[in-house]
Amino acid sequence: MKKFQEFELAEDENFAELFEESEKQTETNTIVDGVIVEMNDESLLVDVGQKSEGKLYISEITVNGKVAYKVGDTIKVMITSSRGERPSISHKKVLQRLKFDEFFDKYGEDPENVIVEGIITSIKPRAGFIVENVDGLEFFMPMAQGYIKAIGAIGKKIKAVVLKAKKDSNSIVISRKKLIEDFQKNKDEQIAKLMGSTEIKEGIVKKITSYGMFVDMGGIDGLVNYNEISYKGPVNPSQYYKEGDKVEVIVKAYDKEKGHLSLSIKDAMPNPWEEIREQLEMGDTITVTVSNFETYGAFVDLGNDIEGLLHISEISWNKNVKNPKDYLNIGDEINVEVIDLDCDKRKLRVSLKSLQPKPFKKFLEEHKAGDLLKGTVATITEFGAFISIGEVDGLLHNEEASWEPNVKCKDIFKKGDVVEVKIIKIDREKENISLSIKALSESPADKFASQYANGDIIKSTIKDIKDFGVFVKLENNLDGLIRKEDLLTVSEENPELQIGDEVEAVVVNIDKQNNRVRLSMKRLESQKNREVLKSVSDDSAMTLGDALAGQLRK
């Protein structure tokens, strides 16, 4: 109460005296007809039948910026004092007397506890405030009854309750303090009554915000947070209610320190998750309505305040779905399959694609390994590219992209390219499709096999040297491998080989499937020795030793 200490003055003790004094001053007031005899921009003189004229400020007869009377007009005034030669008069008090009469006619002879509303128009130092209502009726509010700082009070709109009123003296005393105290006392009683019952109660929507709704509970406002409106989760309250709507609520909590009353609409309704616990299970097909979109999918309404998630990956078998709005519209009724249900966690996931024909099954009905077809490059990775063939994707591995060695898909393709491929394998269990481009054409090893056979002797140039052997360059951009164990032993006659050296070797294996050719220098040497032996057996005049000696000399 510190903020009100400056107002707790002697007025509380002298309040009765001030009020009685005000009555005494106004008991002798009389209303008479006067004639305006003189007028200027600031004031006017009115003849009221006494020794001298009474004086009024021009503001008392100014209405909406216009002076309501002129010299010679008769005007009603109240003589409030006749001390001295010039009487004190007021036209405004006459108007106030009429307004007082109207007030008492409306609220009776004893209008105590009537709540009034007005604007503070002036302050009587160390006494109180003058408050004027919309009709121009003035009230007096003692300083200690204001609960408001004097500084900056003029112009403020307030509500207060009538403490005391006297019709004959035209005085109405009001108190903002009593109104606040009565309201708080009434509020505490109402809160206690609300908190003491768990029954469903009715309120009226007073104000709607982005975070919830304020509901009038009979003079007490409570907040229904947007999480407490529906079992769907956070919702926009303006989509469900409008101001003035009646709603049923459950009182959840009251923060006395902050004065916050928390309400719930959803707790006043049956829990739909409990209702479906025994009615719904995974694998069931249900009809739902598309209610909202997110980037990751769509929310569908079961029609009983429950929403499920239709993830973007469950909309279509097409793996390139980017936006659910491309396939669905708000309000669409669709059949979906329940794929995940947890009533305790209020979690429901559904699938649209699971009720549609599976593209892989359809693909199997129409295609087999060995078929040639066209597809579009959908995704390129480090290990190859995925090719879209209708509604399914097949993998074109880097090794199947070209007969050229060390070529990767990312080097020769871009997304969207149309390519011709051959199905080389279909894994029904894993639903994988393996594709090949190089299988469409004859391999270099095939061409090589059409010209050479195992045992043929060829000459080639060393292309690369490895620990396990050397690679030689053959025809049709084909490499041949001479393994380390197939090389001749290094000697003076056979020095260490270098890149670019021309060598002679015999073909020992042509692998058409893997496009590889193996050669051997040692086997060539053995083959030549066999040919020498054969020639010896055909020439009876030459001994074996002579033949070998001659060969060695060569």
Q: Domain of 260?
A: 197-268
- Confidence label for 515 from pLDDT (cuts 50, 70 and 90): confident
The reply to whether 3 and 113 lie within a common domain is yes
Q: Is there a single domain that holds both residue 392 and residue 418?
A: yes
**Residues 323-337: what's their mean pLDDT?**
92
pLDDT value, residue 536: 62
Are 81 and 135 within one domain? yes
Q: 483 and 418 share a domain? A: no
**pLDDT digit string (tens) for 267-307?**
888 888 888 888 888 899 999 999 899 999 999 998 878 88
| Predicted confidence (pLDDT) at residue 12 exceeds the cutoff of 50 | no
User: 312 with 223, same domain?
Assistant: no
* Cα 298 to Cα 194: distance, rounded to the nearest angstrom: 40
Residue 540 lies in a domain: no
pLDDT score of 554: 45
Please say which residue of 421, 440, 459 terminates a domain: 440
Same domain membership, residue 136 and residue 94: yes
Structural domain count of the chain:
5
Please indicate, yes or no, if residue 376 is contained in any of the structural domains. yes
Of all residues in the chain, what percent carry a pLDDT higher than 90?
31
- Using the 3D structure, point to which of 411, 440, 469 is the last residue of a domain: 440
Beta bridge partners of 375: 419
pLDDT at 551 over 60: no
Containing H/E element for 220? Answer: none
55 and 47 in contact (C-beta within 8 Å)?
A: no
Residue pair 300/291 in contact (Cβ under 8 Å)? The answer is yes
Same domain, 84 and 217: no
Asked whether residue 137 falls in the same domain as residue 3, the answer is yes
Please state, rounded to an integer, the average pLDDT across all residues of the chain.
Answer: 84
* CA–CA separation, 51 and 38 (whole Å): 16
| CB atoms inside a 10 Å sphere around CB 146 | 24
Task: Establish if 544 belongs to a structural domain.
Answer: no
Instruction: Quickly count: other Cβ atoms within 10 Å of residue 533's Cβ.
Output: 14
- Domain presence at residue 554: no
pTM comes to: 0.46
Domain-located, residue 518: yes
Does residue 348 sit in the same domain as residue 388?
A: no
**What is the distance between the terminal CA atoms of the chain, rounded to a whole angstrom?**
126
Whether residue 329 is found in the same domain as residue 381: no
d(CA 344, CA 277): 9
Statement: residue 13 has pLDDT above 50? no
Question: Is 152 part of a structural domain of the chain?
Answer: no
Residue 386 counted as domain residue:
yes
481 is a domain residue: yes
Question: What radius of gyration, in Å, describes the C-alpha atoms of the chain?
Answer: 53
Distances (CA, A) of 31 to 94, 101, 408, 508: 7, 14, 110, 139
Q: Do 289 and 300 touch, CB atoms closer than 8 A?
A: yes
436 and 448 housed in the same domain? no
Task: Please give the structure tokens belonging to residue 404.
Answer: 């050229």
Structure confidence by residue, pLDDT tens digits, 432-458:
999 999 888 878 888 888 888 898 898
- Count other Cβ atoms within 10 Å, centred on residue 509: 11
Residues 412 and 466 in one domain: no
Q: What is the CATH number of the domain that holds 328?
A: 2.40.50.140
- Among 8-17, 372-381, 397-406, the range with the most confident prediction by mean pLDDT is 372-381
Kindly report which listed range (224-228, 260-264, 373-377, 548-552) carries the lowest average pLDDT score. 548-552
Domain's final residue, options 331, 355, 379:
355
